[in-house]
């Protein structure tokens, strides 16, 4: 079941939308549906601490971190 609704878009956005729908050979409505589907199925980035991933290096017992930083980070 589909629900119809109306939105107002700024003119520059509408121009971009029309250009992209023409390029893809789909209607503007279909492009909006596809874009919304893609946007809403992707998990949003977490609000966690950006340094959490490297916390294990900081709290490590290793004392040669500076000498081997590339090895620890990239394997």
Q: What pLDDT, in 10s, does the model give residues 34-71?
A: 999 998 887 777 777 777 767 766 666 666 767 777 88
**pLDDT tens, residue by residue, 33-43:** 999 999 888 77
Give the pair of three-digit tokens for residue 51. Answer: 């340094």
List the chain domain ranges: 11-74
Exposure of 18 in the CB half-sphere (CA atoms within 13 A): 7
8 Å CB contact between 43 and 34: no
Distance from C-alpha of 38 to C-alpha of 57, rounded to nearest angstrom: 35
Give the pair of three-digit tokens for residue 23. Answer: 């390029």
**DSSP-assigned letter for residue 57:** H
């Amino acid at each position: 079941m589909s629900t119809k609704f109306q939105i107002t878009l700024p003119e520059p956005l509408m121009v971009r939308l029309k250009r992209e729908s023409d390029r893809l050979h789909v209607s503007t409505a279909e492009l909006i549906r596809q874009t919304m589907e893609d946007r809403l199925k992707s998990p949003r980035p977490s609000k966690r601490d950006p340094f959490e991933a490297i916390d294990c290096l900081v709290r490590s017992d290793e004392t040669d971190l500076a000498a081997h930083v590339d090895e620890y980070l990239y394997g």
